[in-house]
Structure 1
Amino acid sequence: MSDTKKRFLPMLGHTNGKRSAVTCALKCDNACASAVCNTSDNSYFRDVVSSEYSRRNVLGVGAVGALALIVGGQTGTRAPTDPQLAPAVALQKRGPRSNLKFTPIRPVDALVDDFTVPKGFTWQPIIRWGDPLFRESPVFDVFNQSEAAQQLQFGYNCDYTDILDLPGSKGRRAVMFVNHEYTNEPIMVPPGLPAAEVRGIGRAAHGLTVVELERHNASKAWKYVQGAPLNRRFLLDTPYELTGPAAGSDLVKTIDDPAGRTILGTLGNCAGGTTPWGTILSGEENFNGYFVSPGTSASDRRYGLTASPTARGWEVDQPRLDTRNKGYQNEANRFGYIVEVDPFDRTSTPKKHSMLGRFKHEGANVIVAGDGRVVAYSGDDERFDYLYKFVSRNRMDTAGTPAARRKNMTLLSEGSLYVARFQGNSAPEIDGSGTVPTDGAFDGVGEWLPLIVNNKSAVPGMSAAEVAVYTRLAADKVGPTKMDRAEDVEPNPLTGKVYVACTNNTNRGVGANSPADESNPRTANRSGHVVEITENGGDQTSARFTWNLLMVCGDPANDPTVYFSGFPAQKVSPISCPDNLAFDSVGNLWISTDGQPGTIGYCDGLFQVTLEGEERGKVEQFLAVPRDSETCGPIIRDKERHVFVAVQHPGENGVWGNQTSLFPDYVTAGSKPRRGDAAVPRPSVVQVLPGNDKRPGRGRGAGRPRSDDDRGGREAKAPGNR
């Protein structure tokens, strides 16, 4: 066992429905093995709502049939330059079927170290951990890695990803944005490196990357461009402007920033979103795992901040990460926000928007409401935490000028913040077993409870700044519904319906923990579910909504509690632990998963879900990622028949010298590595496109790209700124 691994072992916890204790320790600071952060006693509203309230909601939803979300020719959650952006269509009209036709792959055993795609498709990495970004960047050499080198190279564990075409390039040039959520030093660096250097490499591998791409035409694969003008790394010393109610408040001031308006770095960046004006939103999620704090205050306990040394020990080099140090008691209050980045301006200062609240943001996704205001949805990825919505005070400027774009970049700084309360219409029937109610669906109504309204606090006894910084505590006071880890939240750009991926919650209904309710209907929920929300009258700014569960996930072969909106369970691909969401040009939902190896015994993957018509609820698996990894950041360009995913933490269970994955280079004994190849797994952004690529020197023994056509049958289950 390496010295590096030993330094991390004391922080490892016990897994609950996840693939790896390493993931739990390094990604989320053993959240599932720690005490539940939300011990509030707000009610669950299990009683059937009043007939008057139900009548008004049902009548309001009828108007959504004529909804067309069009604002100045722009709609949806992606940037105007993105070819995925399609005109909105009325709900009663079914758009053309997607051009991305494929034969679903079979589930892939959790121990298979392959990237599996359908027959007729191939894959290749666009960029890998360590690839050089700038002219002066060194070529990746795992045996010669250093903090200085890593600062100039692509970071580790990529998560949210998007590709935006450069204006005027005719689809041949683009800019790609990628989050780097966390690192796994025990499999990244060889034994014997000084501990300080290991910490430095890890810090430099976090953050964000912007990198330019190029291709010959829309049918070809993208390649990244080293030394391109827009290439940029965002590191722990990159300045961020704090906006919204918290900016300038005493709650965020430190000895280094007495004005409370400039924050260095971003941490734990998970999923994200792309705004209609072409900027990227990145969610700071498990930031608590990077801080040492007294752990005694209500806010420390509510945010999972403790006095224990962190897994990576950065507080040794960065005194601000130990909030017990004089002058830094507020440093943790400066993380846990939505970050906005302009990928088209290398000189721009990114922003942290306190108006969207401070919690473990999986991400944030924006849609334009009918009156021109913008609405952002975000989930708090913690057991028994909440779903949030932000509504801007001002309206989006659709002029398309540089001045209009600058104005739109202020929209997330002012407005109103809400938290969701769900009410089921079959509450007496919910017993935690997952049995579908007698009315045939898990469904009901809900309301958005105000926390901040037009920049002013709506929570008695708390200022707007306090609500923005201690959002979890503020939400506890108004009685929202505790969810089973609301992760990605995406509005469908064609219909306006909102989809919430609830990954899982093995503590639901266990012991004294909160019992099942209709929006979270299973005790010890291992496989998660997806919620579908329709805002009242099709108005994204409405205070009320109706909802239903699109699916209750699992493997139909051995789980009788699965549900797919009435679609026959025996005809769907098994799916568990929904995480990131995306849509194609005709409105199909795409789901990437995180945790299937520990719940249903299969590698994680990417799945297409039909939302309308007779096949509503049909799940089809498109790809599977290699062993020990999760699927992140899906991009669906179905008109081109191209799909992109970020492969995060491949081979997470390995150790140096005994890696469990060699994705994506698959260097094996006896083979001659190409320049830059190394016998370590490398998190990467991967493109899938039509073809049957069989590259020289990459036969089956070397782990060549593999299609489902190769498979014999269903596998048996196995237990700063640069």
Structure 2
Amino acid sequence: MTTTGNRRRTLPLLTDGPHGSRSAATCFYKCGNACDHPEPNTSGNTHISSVLQRALGRRAVLGGTGAGLGMLVLGGSLGSAAVAGTAGSGGTGTAAAGGWTPVAPNVRDNLTVPDGFRSRTVMAWGDKVYADAPAFDPHAQTPESAARQFGYNSDYVGVLPINDAQALLVNNHEYTNEELMFPAGVYSPDEIKKIAIQSHGLSVVKLQRVGGPTSGEWRAADPDNRYNRRITGTTPFDLTGPAAGDARLRTTADPSGRRVLGTFNNCSGGTTPWGTVLAGEENFNQYFGASGAKDPRYATSYARYGITGTGDRGWKDVDPRFDLTAEPHEPFRFGWIVEVDPFDPTSTPRKHTMLGRFKHEGANIQIAPNGHAVAYMGDDERGDYLYKFVSADTFDPRDTQAAKLRNLQLLTRGTLYVARLTGDDPRALDAAGSFTPADGVFDGTGEWIPLTSDTTSYVEGWSVADVLIDTRLAADKVAPTRMDRPEDVQPNPVNGRIYASLTNNSKRGSTFAVDEANPLAASYVRDAIGAPLTKESGNRNGYVIELTEAGGDHAGTRFAWTLLLVCGDPESAETWFSGFPKDQVSPISCPDNLAFDSRGNLWIATDGNVLGSNDGLFRCPVDGPSRGRVEQFLTVPLGAETCGPLVTHDDRSVWVAVQHPGEATGSTFDSPASTWPHTHDFPRPGVVVTWKA
């Protein structure tokens, strides 16, 4: 190690956070200040806000009607807990037998769960993944130690059963915050960058159930096992699909264009029916710098993906592949859906070009009635699109090696689509400029527009490889609907409908026109719990949208849509909870990742709450008399974002990742805003399981 005083600080100490509850540090490290840059999508295509605005007025008609209080009964299991209390803006309520009282909004530096539940941090940054990994010491980190320890800033959580008592945890490590990771004066700038590269990627960790086959409690198993694995920023990946080998994917180190080193900014993901895990490479643009001029051939593509070559992490100083001047093709090798087989630690992970290249939040699979695998995806940027992929081949449900090999090829051939949504009401703006539908409901129809198959491009003048490598630009050509940061897109395993979180868009109503699917030109926020609501421009609290594929055919091209939630404080007029009484729901802001329990209830994790509270996890029934009844299950610590989430198939365990605890104004390793999980005097992001005591 090199002690160099404050020489380590190659990135600015960030102190002001202009975007809701997100600190400036989160905006910088997580997405490269994406909201501060001009919108990459300059296509002029219709915004979801224009579609949704037409439907907002119906809120006023239905918002005051009582929908009745339903009970979701699953015996003693978590997802089916009967809840007969109410949850108003204060989050209070009375739990019935087998239920739980919603957690109130709070700013505690802890993971807060309902009475009667317990939680355990299963893995945290620096824990051993391999048995021979060194003990975690933040004053003595090396790239080699980081590559054998649990990575930083956990996001997607997958738990894949081995048997009733054992499972595999698969966790994404989205990004690093060097201000919170490294004590001052211990490391040189280059040491920090090399360690950070190895702290990205994914971890696979074997789990052990605690307390018998009906328990919801889990812990990490002994790391001396065949499954544990770290995938980092330098792990080799194979490129698959029609674009693999294209000239734009070839570099000095890989003239074949088929072998990529590493993955980073892995956000959400999904577990496939064939037992693998998908992870989405999201804000990859921020890792590339430029030592000189950039290749003019790629100016349009770079701009559409936010690749500026400025404000980067400085990784080009320790690895020339991150220098756009030296390696102009390297950015084309990121922004893909990654597939990892956690049950085969010797397998090479893959990047699937057939699913398109954009800022993937994740991908989730539904098997269509005709057997084709359908992957639903969101491009997490203001004004970008919803996508789906339909495989050319069909899923083989048999538990055989031949079936597994066949299924591992499902994402290499098929057709990629992008969504266009249309409202069913004429446009009508209220005094605030928001959309108010004549029928009082935000809904309409939509179509999946084909972009390309593995053999034929449907975008005039574009090749198959063109569409897959520059998917955003190709999609712009066919006039899909621009959405408010489409993040997680999840098929509901019970009712078959598709749910997407649209996290927020502060520019809705100004840069982005409103429509029935994106109706808000203004919304309300709070500076603190109990502070007055303050009106601000744009969609600050986000939506959850529900899609119903025509005839239940997930491989089809037509769907209906409706807004399940217009999020925010129930005291605010613009919010909508599918008609459920607003005095009986929890306030919710900035929906991000989604999950379902065995009864089909939707679980919503939030990122960037602008209502004064820490972020949290919420349950929302989507059918029956309790449809739209949002109730808060937990809150995460100060400065943290709720990631994951996952409710296990038996409903006995709820998993979340606590990402960037302590990432608040002026917070550093030496002076942190949080010390969660309180094992040290600095914060450690990690994965938590919660169960009923």
In 1: Cα distance, 2:262 partner to 2:268 partner: 17
In 1: Cα distance, 2:234 partner to 2:34 partner: 27
Closer, same or farther: CA 566–295 of 1 in aligned 2, 3 Å: farther
**Which piece of structure 1 moves more, 95-104 or 525-534?**
95-104
Superimposed CA distance per residue, residues 507-527 of structure 1 (whole angstroms, 9 cap, x where no aligned partner): 1122xx121111111121000
SS in 2 for 1:8: coil
Matches within 5 A, 1:444-463: 444-463=444-463
Match of 1:99 among 73, 77, 83: 77
Aligned to 1:534: 548
In 1: Cα distance, 2:48 partner to 2:316 partner: 43
SS in 2 for 1:7: coil
What amino acid does structure 1 have at the position aligned with 2:200?
H
Q: Contact 1:632/1:645 (CA < 8 Å) preserved in 2? A: yes
Aligned to 1:16: 19
CA positional deviation for 1:430: 4.4
Match of 1:109 among 83, 88, 106: 106
**Which piece of structure 1 moves more, 610-619 or 480-489?**
610-619
Superimposed CA distance per residue, residues 397-420 of structure 1 (whole angstroms, 9 cap, x where no aligned partner): 122201101110100000000000
CA positional deviation for 1:394: 0.5
Q: Contact 2:427/2:515 (CA < 8 Å) preserved in 1? A: no
1:199 matches 2:199: no
Q: For structure 1, which runs of at least 5 residues remain unmatched after alignment? A: 50-93, 667-676, 692-722
Aligned to 2:34: 31
SS in 2 for 1:143: coil
Superimposed CA distance per residue, residues 199-226 of structure 1 (whole angstroms, 9 cap, x where no aligned partner): 1221111111111111242315212121
Superimposed CA distance per residue, residues 105-137 of structure 1 (whole angstroms, 9 cap, x where no aligned partner): 343333x21110001011110011000111211
What amino acid does structure 1 have at the position aligned with 2:42?
T
1:254 matches 2:251: yes
Aligned to 2:322: 321
Closer, same or farther: CA 220–535 of 1 in aligned 2, 3 Å: closer
Q: Contact 1:12/1:24 (CA < 8 Å) preserved in 2? A: no
What's the TM-score, normalizing by structure 1?
0.83
CA positional deviation for 1:656: 2.6
CA positional deviation for 1:374: 0.6
Q: Contact 1:295/1:301 (CA < 8 Å) preserved in 2? A: no
Q: Contact 2:598/2:651 (CA < 8 Å) preserved in 1? A: no
Match of 1:591 among 581, 588, 604: 604
In 2: Cα distance, 1:387 partner to 1:563 partner: 22
Aligned to 1:301: 303
1:494 matches 2:494: yes
Q: Contact 2:49/2:508 (CA < 8 Å) preserved in 1? A: no
Match of 1:543 among 557, 560, 582: 557
1:3 matches 2:27: no
What amino acid does structure 1 have at the position aligned with 2:300?
A
Match of 1:561 among 574, 578, 582: 574
SS in 1 for 2:460: coil
CA positional deviation for 1:449: 0.8
Superimposed CA distance per residue, residues 284-316 of structure 1 (whole angstroms, 9 cap, x where no aligned partner): 000001012538611010000013141x21110
The percent identity for this pair of structures is 49
In 2: Cα distance, 1:9 partner to 1:367 partner: 43
Aligned to 2:690: 688
Aligned to 1:570: 583
CA positional deviation for 1:391: 0.4
Aligned to 1:275: 272
Q: Contact 2:103/2:634 (CA < 8 Å) preserved in 1? A: no
Closer, same or farther: CA 308–47 of 1 in aligned 2, 3 Å: closer
What amino acid does structure 1 have at the position aligned with 2:166?
R
Superimposed CA distance per residue, residues 338-379 of structure 1 (whole angstroms, 9 cap, x where no aligned partner): 000000001001110011100000000000000000100000
Q: Contact 1:150/1:205 (CA < 8 Å) preserved in 2? A: yes
Matches within 5 A, 1:125-140: 125-140=121-136
SS in 2 for 1:116: coil
Aligned to 1:706: none
Aligned to 2:203: 209
Aligned to 1:81: none
1:176 matches 2:169: yes
Closer, same or farther: CA 491–298 of 1 in aligned 2, 3 Å: same
Runs of 4+ deviating beyond 6 Å: 10-13, 45-49
SS in 2 for 1:272: strand
Superimposed CA distance per residue, residues 644-677 of structure 1 (whole angstroms, 9 cap, x where no aligned partner): 100000001211321111111x2xxxxxxxxxx4
In 2: Cα distance, 1:46 partner to 1:156 partner: 35
What is the aligned-residue RMSD (CA, Å)?
A: 2.0
What amino acid does structure 1 have at the position aligned with 2:137?
D
Q: Contact 2:49/2:519 (CA < 8 Å) preserved in 1? A: no
In 2: Cα distance, 1:401 partner to 1:638 partner: 22
Closer, same or farther: CA 530–45 of 1 in aligned 2, 3 Å: closer
CA positional deviation for 1:331: 0.5
Q: Contact 1:175/1:343 (CA < 8 Å) preserved in 2? A: yes
Aligned to 1:622: 633
SS in 1 for 2:19: coil
What amino acid does structure 2 have at the position aligned with 1:619?
V
Superimposed CA distance per residue, residues 3-51 of structure 1 (whole angstroms, 9 cap, x where no aligned partner): 37853228888632342110110010000011111111224599999xx
CA positional deviation for 1:453: 3.0
Aligned to 1:429: 428
Aligned length, in residue pairs: 623
SS in 1 for 2:516: coil
In 1: Cα distance, 2:655 partner to 2:493 partner: 19
CA positional deviation for 1:639: 3.1
Aligned to 1:416: 415
Closer, same or farther: CA 626–13 of 1 in aligned 2, 3 Å: closer
In 1: Cα distance, 2:593 partner to 2:332 partner: 26
Q: Contact 1:13/1:24 (CA < 8 Å) preserved in 2? A: no
Match of 2:45 among 17, 42, 47: 42
CA positional deviation for 1:614: 1.2
Q: Contact 1:416/1:455 (CA < 8 Å) preserved in 2? A: no
SS in 1 for 2:248: coil
Closer, same or farther: CA 537–509 of 1 in aligned 2, 3 Å: same
In 2: Cα distance, 1:114 partner to 1:626 partner: 4
In 2: Cα distance, 1:539 partner to 1:495 partner: 13
Aligned to 1:185: 178
Closer, same or farther: CA 618–210 of 1 in aligned 2, 3 Å: same
SS in 1 for 2:136: coil
What amino acid does structure 1 have at the position aligned with 2:548?
T
In 2: Cα distance, 1:47 partner to 1:531 partner: 15
Match of 2:285 among 283, 288, 293: 288
In 2: Cα distance, 1:534 partner to 1:685 partner: 32
Closer, same or farther: CA 244–184 of 1 in aligned 2, 3 Å: same
In 2: Cα distance, 1:507 partner to 1:280 partner: 34
SS in 2 for 1:364: strand
In 2: Cα distance, 1:561 partner to 1:48 partner: 16
1:234 matches 2:228: no
Match of 1:147 among 143, 147, 160: 143
Closer, same or farther: CA 47–195 of 1 in aligned 2, 3 Å: closer
What amino acid does structure 2 have at the position aligned with 1:605?
G
SS in 2 for 1:456: coil
In 2: Cα distance, 1:203 partner to 1:427 partner: 51
Closer, same or farther: CA 471–501 of 1 in aligned 2, 3 Å: same
Matches within 5 A, 1:304-703: 304-310=306-312, 312-325=313-326, 328-431=327-430, 433-434=433-434, 436-510=436-510, 513-523=511-521, 524-557=538-571, 559-596=572-609, 599-637=610-648, 639-653=650-664, 654-664=667-677, 666=678, 677-691=679-693
What's the TM-score, normalizing by structure 2?
0.87
In 2: Cα distance, 1:402 partner to 1:656 partner: 48
Q: Contact 1:17/1:506 (CA < 8 Å) preserved in 2? A: no
Q: Contact 1:272/1:365 (CA < 8 Å) preserved in 2? A: yes
In 2: Cα distance, 1:47 partner to 1:499 partner: 20
SS in 1 for 2:427: helix
Q: For structure 2, which runs of at least 5 residues remain unmatched after alignment? A: 53-71, 82-98, 522-537
Closer, same or farther: CA 46–201 of 1 in aligned 2, 3 Å: closer
